[in-house]
Structure 1
C-alpha cells in the first residue's frame, strides 16, 4: 500500500467518530466516507447498499456511476456465502473469496469488488467499489481493503443506529428507511438504453438538484411514483421523509385538507399535523393530482406561492419547506395550481415508446422471480418477439403482474409462446385454444378481476392500477363478466 492510500484509510477511520453524533444521519456519514475514499488512487465508482427494515436492499450512498445490474446480483445473495467477499464479473458468475480475501481470479476479470457489511454476525448490506489501491496491488489486496472499509461501514451503522434509538431522530430515520426505493425499482430507470430513457435520466438528475415543484405526467403503470421517489433519494432531501397522498381517493375537500394540512384544536376534537408538516424538509407526492378537489388545489396553490398554510379550522400561519410532486395524467394540473407551482414537468415514457428496453426489463423481472421462487425462467425467441411487439397498455405494472403469473402457471422453465397470456398476443400468434381451455381462462380472469375489486373496496381506479389495466379495460371486464357488489345485488333485488 502506498503512502497516499495509507493516509486516506487513516482518515476513513476518523469517520467512525461521526457515528456517535446524533445530529448526523447515517447516509450523510456514509457519503462523507465515500468522499474520503475518492482520494485513493484508483477508486472511480462505489456504492453502499444496506438492507432496510423489510430486508430489501437500498442504496444509501454512492460515488460515480456504479453498475446497478452487478450490484443487484450481489444483493440478492442469501445464506452463508453472503458473508464472503467476491469479485463481480460481467457476463460471468462472481468469484467468491475465502475469509482472508484470497481469490482465484485475474485482475482483468474484475468489474467490481463486493464486500459484505456485517453487524452482530449478520449481513446487513454490501460495500461495492471498482478498485481502491490500483497500481501493482493484487486482487487479494484490493479485496482485503474493501473488507476493511465494509468493516468500518458495519461499525458506523451499528453506532449510528444506537445513537438514533437513543436520540430524537428515531422517527425521521424510520420514515426515511420506509421511503427508500429498492434496487428492484431503481433498475426500471437505470438500465434503459433508449433515447427517451437517456433524456429521462438527464431530467431526473436536474430535478434532484432543484427544489421546484415537480409535475410527472404519463400513462398509468409507467413508473411515475417510482421516479418521484428516485428523484427524492438523489436529492439533498433524501434524509427527510417521503410521503404519498392519493388525490383520486379523496372526494371531499375537508377530507383531503385534513390529510394534507392537518386540523386545529377543536376542529375535529384535537389538533393534528398533516403531511406538509409530517414530511417537513422532504417531499409529498400527490397522486392523480388532476383529480384534486378545487378547494384543495386552491389551498395548495397558496402554500406554493407563500410557503405558508393554515390547518383546517385554524388561523395561525405555519411555514413549511416540504417539496411537492404531482403525478397526473396528460391533462395535468388545474390552471390555478399550475400557475402557482410553475412545476418542472417530466413526462415518463410508456413501454411502447422504449421497446428496445423491453428485453432488459423482462430479464430483470424474471431474475427477481427466480430470487423469490428459486425458479429461473427464460424466454424463447418467439415469446420475446411477441412481448416486444405488444403495446403494454398497463406498462411496467402490467409486465410485473405477467411475470409473476408466469412463475405460477408456466409448466416449464423455458417460456414459449403458448405460455404467454392470450390477451398479450396478437390474433396470429395465439395458439389454438380448446373450448374447455377457453372456459378455464375466462374463469381465471373473472376471478382475478373480482378479487382485485374486493381488495380495493370496489374502487375501480385502484383495482385497475393493481392489475395493470386502464379504467376502460377494467370497466369492459366488469360488464363482460356481469360483476357486481353483494350490496348492489341486494339493492337490485
Structure 2
C-alpha cells in the first residue's frame, strides 16, 4: 500500500514537472497546451482531452486545442456558459466528475465521444482553468470506466494541478501580448508623430522653438515668397536658408550666397549685378553677377541690414522690377530668382532711425522667421554637441565622447555666440582633451581660460537675460542623443530667504538703477541683482561687494528670484 502511494505520488510529481516544463517552452499556448495534453493522456491512460477558453466578452467557450479529436470534432467545441457539463464547470468554477456520460443528462455529446464505445462506460473529468482570480476556460478529459469501478480522486488532483499551470501560462501569455500590443501602439504613434513633425536634414532640433521654425520652413518652402530670416549671429540662418531651398521646387537649381557686410558698396553692386567689359579699371571682360548666376534658383543675401542707403534704393528697384542692368551697361537683364535674406539687426529700430528704407523693409519682410538663440533651446544642446563631436571623430579618426558632467557644463552655458560658439568649443575641447572621455574639467571655462566673457558685451542694449534652465536629458551614450533626465543646476533651485538676508538688504537706494519689474519679479530687487551681476561680469563675490551684502546673502538672493548665473 505504501509503495503504491509512493508510486502514485512520484507519477503525479513527474506529470507536474513535465507539464510545467512544456508550458514554459513557448508563448504559443495552443501548441504547448496540446503537447501537455499528449503527455497527460499517455501517463494516465486518458482517452481524449481538450481545452476551451472564454472569448473576450465571456459569452462563449471556444476550443483552443484537443488531443484524440478529429478536426471536424474540434470545430464543434463551442459552449455557452452554463451549457452542459463544460459550461457548468466554467460558470461555477468547480470541478466535475461524470462516471458515465451515457447516463448523464447534462452531457451534450457534442463531439460524439459517447458514440464510440456504446457498451462501455465513459467517464468525463472537467476542471476550471483560472488566471488572475477568475475562470478563463475549462480543461476536460474522458477515459474508459469499465464497470464504473475506477476511483478518479488522483486523476482529478493531477487535472487540477495541470489546469493551474495552464492558467499561469495563459496569464503570462496575455501579459506579454498586452505589452507587445502597447509597444506596437507606441511605435505606430511615434511613426505618426515623425510623419507629422517637421524635421530638416542636417539640422538638430527637438525643442519646441525649433519645431516651430521647422514648421514654418516646410510651410513657406514650396512657394516663391521672399523670406526674411532673423536672429542673433550664429543661430544658423544660412543652414535654414539652404533647407528652404532644398525643400522648394527650385532645389535642382543654384543656391547662391552673398554676405552683404563683407563687401563695399561698389564691390557689392558688381558682385550682385555683374559688370560689362571696361566699365571700370580692371574689368577686362563681361562678368555675370550673383542674380544671374542664381537664375531659376535661390539667392541668399546675408546681413542685409548692413547695406548702405544708396544701395538699398538699387536693391529695391531690382526686387520690384525683377530686372537690372549690369555695372557699365544699359541693357535690362530679367531674372527669375527667389530671395532669402537674413539679418541680426533690429530693422524696425533702423527704420525709425532713418537708417533703413521703410519701402525696402516692407518689400523684404514678407515672411519673417525668427531663429531662437541657443540659450532658449537648451534641450538641443546635448544632441548638437554630440553631432559636432561625431563629426570631429570622423575627420580625425578618434573616438572621443562626453560624460554626463561635460554635457551639463555645455547645457548650462549662456552661449552668446550660439551654435557657432558651441561648435568651436566642442572642437577646441576635443582637440586638447587628454583622455578619450571628455569630462567637465576639460573645458576652458573650468579654469578661467574662456574668452567669451571678454568678447561678449553683456551690457549692450540688445543683450537678452538668461531664462531658468529646464531639465535637459543627459546620458552617456556615445553617438546618440542623450535621454536620461539631468539634475537642474543649483542656481535654478528656489530656496527660502535666510533671516539675515532680507530683500531690503540687497543694495542701498541710489546704488543701482531702478527698472520696471519684468516677468512678475518684485519691482527693483530683481533688477538690482541683474544690474550688479552684469557690472561685475557675473561674479557673485564682486556683485555682493557692490551691493554691500555678503556672498552668502547674494547667493540666496539669486536663488530667490530665479536668476540664472551666466557661465563663461
TM bin, normalised by shorter chain, reads: 0.3 to 0.5
Task: Report which structure shows greater RCO (CA 8 Å, sep ≥6).
Answer: 1
The TM-score normalised by the length of structure 2 is 0.41
The TM-score normalised by the length of structure 1 is 0.48
Of the two, which has the highest radius of gyration?
A: 2
